[in-house]
Amino acid sequence: MRRAKITGTGMYVPDRVVTNADLTQFMDTSDEWIVQRSGIRERRWIEPGQAPSDLARAACQQALEAASLEVSDVDCILLATLSSEHDFPGTSFFLHEKLGAGEIPCLDLRAQCSGFLYALSFADALVVSGKYRRVLVVGCEVHSTGLDISTRGRDVAVLFGDGAGAVVVEANDDPEDPSGLLELRLHAQGRHADKLWIEAPSSASSPVRLTHEMIDDGRVFPKMEGRFVFKHAVRRMPEVLHEALSAASIKLDDVGLFLFHQANLRINEFVANQLGIPPDKLFNNIERYGNCSAASIPMLLAECARNGRLQPGQIVCLTAFGSGFTWASAVVRW
C-alpha cells in the first residue's frame, strides 16, 4: 500500500532577535512575567523589506535540498498561514513565483496554529490517492507587523514570532520501507472563533471593511481570551493525541518524540505531565522563537532533523491546538 512520507525538512527565521528585555521599550512588561507565563525568552521579527514568502522560500529551499529534489520535481504547494502577505492572492502564490514553480497548483490553508497539520493531512490524501507524487507543505507566519506592541496589546504581543518551516511529502511505494504518515486526525469548533481572532478588516463590515475607528480601537490586532484558550488547549491536545495514536494502533510508550505546537511552554508541560510523557521525549523551541503559529511544527521537525533527535524508524507524534478553534494530531514513522 502506498504511504506518504516526509523526505525533507527546512526552516528559516529572520536574523533580527527581539528579547523580552527589548519589548520593555514598547510596553509595560518584564522578562520575568513572559518567561514565567509562557517560557519565551526571545523571538524573531522580520527586517523592513522581508516578506512572508521570503521566509517560506528559504524554508522550502532547505527542505527540497534535504530531499535531494528541485522545485521542478514538486507537483503541488500547500501553505498554511494566518498572517497572509496580502488579502489575496494567498502567500503561496508569492512563494510560487519566488521558487520558480512553473505552473504547478498552489493554495493557502487557513487553520491557524493547527494549519500545518491540516495541510499535511491534505498532502497525505493527495499522495496516497495517487493524484500527486510530491507535495511541498509549508507553514509560514509574519506576526510582528500585525501586533499591538503597546501596553494595551501586551498579553498577545509578547507571545508571537516570525518564522517558516517546510517539509517535502513524497509517495513511498517501497514495501520494505515502513516509514510514512500513519494517521492524521483533525478537528474544529467554530463556536469559539472570537476567543482568539483578528476582527478587522472584515468583508462582513458594511459598507467598508476597514474604518479609522477600527484602527483607533485596535480591532485590527489579534485578541485572545488567554485563560479560556489555555483551558481548551490542555483538554483537546491529549484528546486528539490519544485518538491519533489509537487509530494508528501505537502505544504512547512507543512514541520516541512528541512535538507540540509552541503556544506556551506551560501548556506543553501540562499536557506532557497529564499523559505521563517523560521530559526527554518532548522537544520545544518556544524559548527561542515564541509562537510561530502554522510554522511552529515544521520548524520543530527541521530542528530535530538537524540535531539528531529524529531517527529512522522512530515514532513521532505531532499535536496542535489553535484559533478556530482547531486541533489536530499526526503519527509519523520517521
User: Could you give the CA distance from residue 209 to residue 192 in angstroms, rounded to a whole number?
Assistant: 22
- Residue nearer to ligand UT7 on the CB measure, 186 or 233: 233
Task: Tell me how crowded residue 204 is: count the other CB atoms within 10 A of its CB.
Answer: 8
Query: DSSP label at 47?
Result: P
In sign, the C-alpha dihedral spanning 231, 327, 252, 268 is negative
Report the nearest approach of ligand UT7 to the CB of residue 46 (Å): 19
- Residue nearer to ligand UT7 on the CB measure, 226 or 256: 226
Pairing of strands 315-322, 257-260: parallel
The single residue among 267, 294, 310, 331 that binds ligand UT7, judged by CB under 6 A, is 267
Report the nearest approach of ligand UT7 to the CB of residue 272 (Å): 15
The single residue among 155, 239, 243, 269 that binds ligand UT7, judged by CB under 6 A, is 155
Report the nearest approach of ligand UT7 to the CB of residue 20 (Å): 9
Report the nearest approach of ligand UT7 to the CB of residue 325 (Å): 9
Q: Which residue is nearest to ligand UT7 (CB)?
A: 226
User: Could you give the CA distance from residue 290 to residue 294 in angstroms, rounded to a whole number?
Assistant: 12
**Alpha helix stretches (DSSP H) within the chain:** 20-23, 31-38, 52-66, 91-99, 115-128, 154-157, 212-216, 226-247, 265-275, 286-289, 296-306
User: Could you give the CA distance from residue 190 to residue 75 in angstroms, rounded to a whole number?
Assistant: 32
Report the nearest approach of ligand UT7 to the CB of residue 124 (Å): 23
**Which residues are identified as catalytic?**
113, 261, 291
User: Could you give the CA distance from residue 46 to residue 14 in angstroms, rounded to a whole number?
Assistant: 5
189 near ligand UT7, rule: CB under 6 A: no
Per-residue contact string for residues 302-321; x = within reach of ligand UT7 by CB under 6 A: -------------------x
Closest by Cα among 299, 227, 305, 232 to 260: 299
The single residue among 137, 158, 271, 295 that binds ligand UT7, judged by CB under 6 A, is 158
38 near ligand UT7, rule: CB under 6 A: yes
272 near ligand UT7, rule: CB under 6 A: no
The single residue among 17, 26, 31, 37 that binds ligand UT7, judged by CB under 6 A, is 37
Report the nearest approach of ligand UT7 to the CB of residue 227 (Å): 5
Cis peptide leading into 283, omega within 30 of 0?
Answer: no
- Residue nearer to ligand UT7 on the CB measure, 75 or 155: 155
286 near ligand UT7, rule: CB under 6 A: no
Residue 100, exposed/middle/buried by CB under 10 A (0-12, 13-18, 19+)?
exposed
User: Could you give the CA distance from residue 50 to residue 70 in angstroms, rounded to a whole number?
Assistant: 24
The single residue among 80, 113, 140, 331 that binds ligand UT7, judged by CB under 6 A, is 113
144 near ligand UT7, rule: CB under 6 A: no
33 near ligand UT7, rule: CB under 6 A: yes
99 near ligand UT7, rule: CB under 6 A: no
Per CB under 6 A, which of residues 194..253 are in contact with ligand UT7?
Answer: 226-227, 229-230, 233
100: left (phi over 0), alpha (psi -120 to 50) or beta: left
Cis peptide leading into 105, omega within 30 of 0?
Answer: no
The single residue among 2, 22, 29, 75 that binds ligand UT7, judged by CB under 6 A, is 29
| Residues found in the chain | 334
User: Could you give the CA distance from residue 195 to residue 20 in angstroms, rounded to a whole number?
Assistant: 25
263 near ligand UT7, rule: CB under 6 A: yes
User: Could you give the CA distance from residue 187 to residue 142 in angstroms, rounded to a whole number?
Assistant: 25
Backbone angles phi, psi at 184, to 5 degrees: -135, 130
Binding residues vs ligand UT7 (CB under 6 A): 29, 33, 37-38, 113, 154-155, 158, 226-227, 229-230, 233, 263-264, 267, 291, 321-323
